[in-house]
């Protein structure tokens, strides 16, 4: 039981004294970067899916005419 108490005490101390939390502006900037990156990656995956679907449709139409 002593180990558990020590663990929680040290965890709280680390979170309250050693961790450097971002400012509100840094947090907003990081969030915008993640959102933009997510939108770009989503667009790329959608484009690749559309291209692959079109290519497969073309191939299947040629093979199974």
Residue 1: predicted pLDDT = 78
Whether pTM > 0.85 for this model: the answer is: no
Residue 65: predicted pLDDT = 75
The yes-or-no verdict on residue 38 having pLDDT over 90 is: yes
Q: Residue 9: which of 47, 48, 1 has the closest Cα?
A: 1
pLDDT in tens, 8-22: 999 999 998 888 889
Residue 45: predicted pLDDT = 98
Residue 12: predicted pLDDT = 92
CA 61/CA 56 separation, integer angstroms: 8
Q: Cα–Cα–Cα angle for 24, 30, 47, nearest 5°?
A: 150
């Amino acid at each position: 039981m002593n180990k558990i108490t020590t663990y929680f005490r040290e965890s709280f101390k680390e979170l309250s004294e050693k961790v450097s939390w971002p400012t509100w502006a840094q947090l907003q900037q990081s969030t915008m970067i993640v959102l933009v990156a997510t939108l770009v990656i989503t667009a790329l995956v959608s484009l690749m899916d559309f291209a692959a679907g079109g290519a497969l449709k073309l191939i299947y139409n040629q093979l199974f005419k």
